[in-house]
Homo-oligomer: A and B are copies of this chain.
């Protein structure tokens, strides 16, 4: 199924998955007053999670190609579905943290790092090039900002030479670690609870 930029699909069938073969496909929610939130971005090879019953849109951000993949009951299909949904839940939770607690600069840093990992090509020892076929508006709707703010934050990265923007859709990050340092880090180990920490492994 070929889609042109901006084309939307609704009413995903329950007995099939959509797999992105080419392009960039967003799952988004749109409010009656026009506000849009992009919930997740799907790059080639990824399957679109089957949550989009009534209130989500599937939208091609660039010319894209979708395949349908039937879900055959039995034969480990439920396990595959669980794994897919589970991965999407982890991504959604990361995104949730970003929208709830990161400021604008942190959001764009985390976003570019993420996209470099998924779509980038390595450059030099520690850098990456990224062809990002989305408008500033699309990025803003993914990050809970607006297009002008995204543009300003990109300009700031450019001025500090953390990232280069030869064209609006081309991003070069000479040193990924330097960009990563602009995004907050999770605590990892060693963080202490308000009271006591109990390992459920011993419960």
Give the interface of A toward B (CB within 8 A): 1, 3-13, 16, 18, 29-33, 35-37, 39, 49-51, 54-59, 68, 78-79, 81-82, 85-86, 88-90, 92-93, 95-97, 99-101, 143-144, 184-188, 191, 193-201, 203
Interface of A, helix, strand, loop or mixed by DSSP: mixed
Shortest A172–chain B CB gap in Å is 28
| Set B36, B92, B198: member contacting A9, Cβ < 8 A | B198
Q: How distant is A200 from chain B, measured CB to nearest CB, in Å? A: 5
Across the two chains, which residue of chain B brings its CB closest to A82? B82
Instruction: Determine if B199 and A89 form an interchain contact, defined as CB atoms under 8 angstroms apart.
Output: no
CB of A18 within 8 A of CB of B51, answer no
